[in-house]
Each structure stands twice: as C-alpha cells, then as structure tokens.
Structure 1
C-alpha cells in the first residue's frame, strides 16, 4: 500500500467518509455489462448454489440448484447458466473491423500485408468481489473437460452439450482477469478500491455493502458505523439485511432458512420417486406439486439473499460512471478486444480446452506479460491522473516544478554539434535525483475523447541544489533533427513541467523458445507429451 493510499485511509477515518484515490476512472465500463452474483454451498467452495445475473438491473434472472449434492441437478444448473450467459458472450463475435498489419514470410523473409479481424466490442462480466472471480475460475476448471452425450465416449454422468463451452469461456475470462488493467471480468469491490479509500481493512472492503456504506453514510453515522450496521444488521427473523453473497452464505441463513428448504425439497423428491416406483399416478402428481412448491420456496429465499448484493453492484456502477474516463482506457480495452477475438478464433478452429497446467514456456510468457502490463498500467495511470502521479512524487520517482531558466548548450564531441540545452526548475519535491540519472519529461496528456497520447522527452540530471530547491537537467532528445531546437520543443521560463525517473514506454521482454525446444527439465523433449490447448506463441499473439 502506497503512502498516499495510507494517508487517504487515515483521512477517511477522520472524515467518516470514503476519500478519493483518483480523479478519473481507470477501468473501462461497458455500456451493457453482465452483472453476475454467485452463491456457493457452505463447505463446498466449488459447489454452486445459485446465481443472479443479467444486463438489466430491473429484470435479473436466477438459476439455482435445489440440492447442491445432486450431480444431475448441478449439471442442470450449469446448463441453464450456459443458456443464459453464452448468448451474451457470443453476441460480440460477429461485429468486427479489419486491422491492417504485416507478417514476415518464413522462407523469403519478406513482409507481406495482412488483415486481421478485431471484434468491435467485447463482453464484460462484473461480480461483487474477488471471491466471485475465484468461484468462476473453479466452475471453469471443473466443467471445461466434461464429456457430453455427443462425445464418442461420453462416460458416466455426461454433461449437457454447452457446459464444457461455458467452462472454456469462464477459464479464459478468469485467466485474463489476472492481467493488470484488463476489464473483461471485474470485481466491484476491486473497482471501488482503486478509486476510493475507506477507513477499514482490505478484508472488510470485500463486503460490498459495508464498503458502499462509506460513500454515503446515513445522517448521524460515520462510515465505520454505517459499515458495521451493513455487516451485522438483522431483521426480526434474525436474517441479515445485507447478506454478504461473497459468494458464501450467512450461517444463520443456512441453519434457519436454507437447510429446511432443501429438506422439504428432498422429502418431496423422495416421495415422487417412491410414487413413480409404485406406479401411483395420483400420488406422483401430488409429489410433483410438492416439488414445484419446494423449488419455489427455495427460489424465493435465495432471491431475497441475492437481491441486496445485486442492487449494490449496480449502485457501484453508478458511482464509477460519474467519474470521467481516463485517457488510456481505449488503448487497454483494445487489448481486451484482441484477447476476446483470439479466444473466439481458437474455439472456431476446434482447438482443445485450456490445459490443466501450463508448460514452462507458456507459464513464463504469462508471467512476463503480467509484469509488463503492470508496468504499463502504472505508467498510464500516472499520465492520466495527477493523484496517481502524486504517488510517484511521494516515492521520489517523479518531480514537478516551474522552469526558472533555459540555457542553450551543445555537445561538440561528434562531427557536428548537437543541442543539449540545460533546463533549471524550482521544485518542492525530493526525488532520488542522482547526477547523471535519466529523466523523462511528459509532454502533453491524452484527452478522454481521444487524440494523440503523451510523448516523452529524454533528459539527464546535471545538477541538484537542495538548498535552493532547484534541479538542472540536460535535455537529450525530443527537439527535432535540426542544429537548433525546434520552436516549442523546450519549456519556457515560468512553465510548469513534470519529469519522471522511470521510462514512459514499457520494454518488451526477451523472447522465449517454443515448448518443443525447451529441455526435458522444463517439460520439453525428449518424449514429452504435447500440452493440451493453444500454443504459447498463438496465445501471446492475441493477448
């Protein structure tokens, strides 16, 4: 946790309200997000109990498992979820745009022009908290390898046809969620935590209702008091007014409401089986009515638990939409669109499901990608948001000041002199400004409506006078190719400027070999079985 975040949390404790950590919205929000609130059975982290989902806040849909221990009912639940979720995920696959590029011929080495399809938009799933993302990952892992009745060897307990496809999509979305800055799958508590600080711990922030209580506490209550009420307030039946849905259920709800409802269903289902075995049609019809009534009561109870969290997620979206979008959102969302398009193409090509465990090269590629995207995200957020840049200034990684003097100077060591002007600025910051250290001046900022992004001007620190509060930098680039700096390429005296001690462009990581070229110690030859799923190079191409 950065110093600025710590200060914001302390200020939230003092003020009793959530304090801003950003001046702009750093995550893309779809015009038509799919909100998904899952519930799991107690003691069974991978056993689904119910889910509420939809793109319309006024018309949510609920799927439930009347008996979570029944494998057939669990598959029926997954089939219903797939029938609801897959059309949304696949609805973005047809509207595409053609992106021009080039590729090198492996034989001649010549570059040829190619066009690739890029989906114009992509889906976005939003769950209440990080535990919801983990639950979807478990569902994906447990379903993408399931055999169906259409397989050559379906085996016992074949899954409905669309369930493995749902598992592959969930696995892709949850894998992509591990990449910093991506927005295909987001948790609402994570979104709020990036933009506001509360006076409670990160663990307490995972309770969505408690976190939202800090944003608008009732009159006469502080954020802490409102959060405590949201966590613990109960009705006259002893049930929570704001169930966590995280995705675990409240133990008192399990004991007083859920267990009796499941027991009624079990009794009705047992009576139906007995009547069917005896051939007693009137008794069977009464048992069917009892089963329907038991399912209806269970649906009513689970809907009451899910609805408060459903409303909280949409309320969080309203808070986030009130912030202006950051300048680099479109660029990062384009990366998500490439990821979605690549997975669409892999499914269309008939490639096998993602492997249970990545080979060494694929794992290294994923790790390198996540490190690279984290560095890129830190830079982009600093360029988009003064509060994010302030964190770097407090850490001594950037400084802002006012130019006091610009002195022309030249490098005469080469054939022709090159301009190397000296820029002096006065600053109250205390950066780690060692002599000769590389610095980068940010020139211009991207606008939310688009336009050119910022360009960097490379410099080096030539002198530091801590007593006077001045820093002198020698500008090395960004002045044009003439013998004299181009007009406007240098700051003027009195102009505020910002320099960073980190690069504003992220370097690519070193290339990695193909899996079949790695040694046997890392899963390669000799005699290594090929890993299921897309090759590392193919996955990297679209990510």
Structure 2
C-alpha cells in the first residue's frame, strides 16, 4: 500500500483530511491580489462578472450586464484594468533590489506580486481573456472604435500570468484548490479534490460530521468560473431582460439604472466564493513555511521583473503567439528541470514528503554509528581525503553498492557513494564515502546524528544549448515547386 492510499484510508476512518506535508510548500503573501471571475455560460472568451481585492473585508466587482456587446464588456474590463494594473504594477515602485541576470542588472521587487484565485480554471479563463484583449487595435479601424491602450496592456499581463502559472512550483498565481489538494489527502478522487468547497469541508468539517457528508453538502456551492446551471438560467433571464430594456443603448447612466438586480445576483455569488477563499488563505497562512519557498519566491520576483521590463520596453509586452521548435524544446526542458527540483526541495525540506521515497527505495534513514572525516584513500595514484560515515537503519536498505546519494543536510554539495551494505537484524549497516577531498564542499554527519540519504540533490540542472536555426533533420519538408521545365512539350527536355 502506498503512503497516499494509507492516508486516504485514515482520512475515511477519522472523517477528516490528513496532511501530506509538515510544512506549507507555497508562499502566501500578506496582501495578495484576489480575483474571482464568472464565465458567461459557454462563451469561453468573456466574463459575466469579475472581482478584485486584497483582503477578506471587501472587493470591487465589475459587471458588464450584457457581455456579448463589445462596448459594454470593454467598458467593464477597462474599469477592472485600472484596478488590476495599478495593483499589479505597484510592486515595481516598492522596495526593490538589483540582481544580475544574464550579465545585465534587473530591478527586482522584494515583495512577491502574488495573485490568488479559487482554482486553476479561473487562471485559464484569465488567460483566454488576455488573448482576446492583448492585440486589440488602439487606432481606428473602419467604423470600429479603437480600444483604450490599457485594455491591451491588461491582456498582455493576463496572458503572461496564465503562461507562467504552468511552471511547476511557481507561486505568483496561486490556485487555492490546488494548494489544498497538494497538502492534504482525502478519500476523494483526483477529479473531486478540484472542488474547493468539498476539499475544504474534508479539512475542516463541522463538529460531529464526517468529512464525506460535509463534502457532499459543500460541493453544491459553485465557486466559478462556470456558474451552477440554476444560477446560469437565472442570470440568462436577467441578462435578456436587461438587454431588452436598454434597447441597444450603451449610455452609462441608463446602464447604471438598469443593472442593479443583475449586479446584485453576481455579487452574491462572488461573496460566497470570496469568503471561502480568504478563510482558507488566513488558515493556511498560519502554518510554517518550508525553507525552499523563499528561493522559489525570489525566482518568481525575477520573472515578474523581466516581464515588467518587457512590458515597459519597445515591444510593449508583445509576445509570439506560436513557439518555434527551439522554443518548445527549451520550454519543455525548463518545465522538466523545475519539476525535478521542486520534488527534490519538498522531499529534502519535509520529512513527510520524504516518506514515500523511503518506501520506494529512493532514500534511507538511520543513525550514524561511525564517522571518519580524516579518512584517505588512493585515487589516481594520489592519497586523497575521502571522509566516510556508517549508518544503521531500522529497515533493510534496498539500494545497491556504488549508488550515488546526497545527505539531506548537504544536498547542494558533493555526492556520497555507498561502499557496502551489511544486514543487521531487522535493518542494515550502510557505509558511505564522500566523493571529494575538500570538506568545505559538503558537511559530514556526526556520530549519533539521525540522517537521511536520498537520490535528491539541489544542484543546478544541465543548461540546454540549442542552435538558433533548427538543423535540417528537424525542419518540415519543403513542398516541391512546379516549374515550366516539367510541362514542356518535348517531355521536359531543355532546348
């Protein structure tokens, strides 16, 4: 039985979700930017309502009324853009540091410009909305009015945020449902844990109520971005009435007079999601933060600084809509290396996250019974320092001699090689040799110390170098070009 299955069984027995980590492995800032959005039915590139705020006490909601009307939608999104861009870009005016990146100085904010949303579907909606707005013409085109320059700027922010949110372990865009799903185990399926109300009910059920029953009741709450069918039908009827009463008018005074009932319906839906989201944020914020969270937050701040530099540069945030083969390979390499480093950091920081790897034979833990920091051996005809330690484990070590491992307290240093393994009662006695002659490269455990050695390390991954032009083996075949020579009357023979 895997550890996750064991925790799921315990959650069902106790009626409450079981933590899968001793620490919180995602940053939660003091004042993140909260966003709740509601999609307009089956229209994926529009919103019926969108709200923004930075505290549990309140938010500003923007409701276009009839989003299928371009002018009404853009008017509401322009008001949202003023709020969002002001908040999101304000981090560049706060405390900053100058960091070297690719040989150039980059002004990086000290505080993480974090955005919190209920779930990953909301991030996808913001990304689609960004694609719609990012390249709107800001100059007159025929009879169509030009868009306010702030709308394309908003769109380019949202496109970048949605793209960056795909990076494993990033904390700039934090889906709360995903935060809970990665930190707790329940008796729900992988699909069911994406429901924020149900997941939260398992974690904190009412007194005397089993988590399953609490989740069954809570999952009826729709948190967006797609509304509940009943809410969707009511909104559709109210929207149709609003559209009929306005008689194609977009006059702000008339719209403000007709929209209150529709706005109130959306605000009531936003409030339910808003209160739930911030209650979870305030609860999870109190848990201790893992050590590696700071490093990833700094990487997020650097990525944000590069984005703002691009937004304020000559390109004004414009990006390619399609990746070349080289871009795709570089992106895939970045995602794979980031995922591997994230898994390593979480396991090294958190004993509970290391537990599945101990069961899988990717690590072993025990007590140091011998340590020789002055040990030497002949390497390439030279007498070199090769410190050694001997560890007694409580269970048999499943690894083989010659395996390279890293001590969790020195995962950034040099590797330890298993010299030999001797059965010892119910466990094993494992001797490891540090593969360096400089103790400054890696610390050495002391006798009596509880240690853990694993396959995980925190060294930088291989840097991928690819040619700017794809080699001929990776190019699409060029179609043959018809020439006059192939259609001459003399059978294609040149005169």
- Kindly indicate whether residue 493 of structure 2 is the aligned counterpart of residue 494 of structure 1: no
1:327 to 283, 291, 300: 291
The CA deviation at 1:520 is 6.4
**Alpha-carbon separation, structure 2, partners of 1:200 and 1:470:** 38
Q: Is the 8 A contact 1:424 1:470 kept in 2?
A: no
* CA distance in 2 between partners of 1:385 and 1:92 (Å): 31
- 1:303 maps to 267
Tell whether 2:416 aligns with 1:459. Answer: yes
462-471 or 309-318: bigger deviation: 462-471
- Note the residue ranges of structure 1 that are not aligned, 5 or more in a row: 104-113, 233-241, 274-283, 445-453, 527-543
Contact 1:119 1:337 in 2 (8 A): yes
Q: 2:331 aligns with which of 366, 385, 390?
A: 366
Q: Residues 106 and 305 of structure 2 are in contact (CA less than 8 Å); yes or no, is this contact kept in structure 1?
A: no
Q: Distance in 1 between matches of 2:398 and 2:448?
A: 24
Q: Secondary structure at the match of 2:203?
A: coil
Contact 2:330 2:464 in 1 (8 A): no
- Structure 1 residues 33 and 271, CA gap change in structure 2 (3 angstroms): closer
Quote the offset at 1:434 in angstroms: 1.3
Deviations 1:27-53 (A, max 9, x none): 111221011111011111222110121
TM-score in terms of structure 2 length: 0.88
Structure 1 segment 406-445 matched on structure 2, within 5 A? 406=371, 409-443=375-409
Please point out which of 137, 148, 161 is paired with 2:149.
161
Task: From 87, 110, 114, give the equivalent of 1:124.
Answer: 114
Contact kept in structure 2, 1:133 and 1:174, CA below 8 Å = yes
> 1:219, CA displacement in angstroms?
2.4
Q: Which residue does 2:243 correspond to in 1?
A: 266
Counterparts of 2:311 and 2:173 in 1: how far apart (Å)?
19
1:398 to partner: Cα distance: 0.8
> Which segment is superposed worse, 155-164 or 119-128?
155-164
1:98 and 2:98 correspond: yes
Matched residue, 1:448: none
Aligned partner of 1:476 in structure 2 is 434
Query: Relative to structure 1, is the Cα distance of residues 470 and 479 closer, same or farther in structure 2, using a 3 angstrom cutoff?
Result: farther
1:272 is displaced (CA, Å) by 6.0
Residue 179 (structure 2) aligns with: 191
**Structure 2 CA distance for aligned equivalents of residues 64 and 259 of structure 1:** 14
Q: How far 1:421 sits from its partner (Å)? A: 4.5
1:388 aligned residue? 353
Does the residue aligned with 1:6 lie in a helix, a strand or coil? helix
Task: State the Cα distance separating 1:324 from its structure 2 match.
Answer: 0.8
Asked whether the equivalents of residues 388 and 434 of structure 2 are also in contact (C-alpha less than 8 Å), the reply is: no
Please give the alpha-carbon distance, in whole angstroms, between the structure 2 residues aligned to 1:100 and 1:214: 45
Give deviations 1:146-198, integer Å, cap 9, x for gaps: 112xx375773532221111111011111111111111111000111122222
TM-score between both structures, scaled by the size of structure 1 = 0.81
- Quick one: which of 223, 248, 253 aligns to 1:245? 223
- 2:249 and 2:105 map into 1 onto residues whose CA distance is 60
Query: 1:268·1:288 contact (CA, 8 Å) conserved in 2?
Result: no
Distance 1:359 1:155 in 2: 36
Alignment of 1:17-416 (within 5 A): 17-95=16-94, 96-99=96-99, 103=103, 115-148=105-138, 151=139, 153=141, 156=144, 158-232=146-220, 242=221, 244-255=222-233, 257-270=234-247, 291-351=255-315, 353-406=318-371, 409-416=375-382
**Contact 1:180–1:374 (CA under 8 A) maintained in structure 2:** yes
1:368-403 CA distances to partner (integer Å, 9 max, x unpaired)? 111111111111111211111112212211111012
Give the C-alpha shift of residue 501 in structure 1: 2.3
Moved more, 66-75 or 85-94: 66-75
Alpha-carbon separation, structure 2, partners of 1:264 and 1:122: 43
Closer, same or farther: CA 175–248 of 1 in aligned 2, 3 Å: same
Cα separation, partners in 2 of 1:268 and 1:520, compared to 1, 3 Å = farther
Equivalent in 509, 513, 520 of residue 467 of structure 2:
513
Larger deviation, residues 202-211 vs 297-306: 202-211
Cα distance, 1:137–1:330 mapped onto 2, change above 3 Å: same
Quote the Cα distance in structure 2 between the aligned partners of 1:383 and 1:77: 47
Query: In structure 2, what is the Cα distance between the partners aligned to 1:465 and 1:250?
Result: 62
SS in 2 for 1:40: strand
Quickly say closer, same or farther: Cα 1:3–1:143, change in 2 above 3 A. farther
SS at match of 1:246: coil
Change (3 A) 1:288 1:55: closer
Q: Is the 8 A contact 1:144 1:165 kept in 2?
A: yes
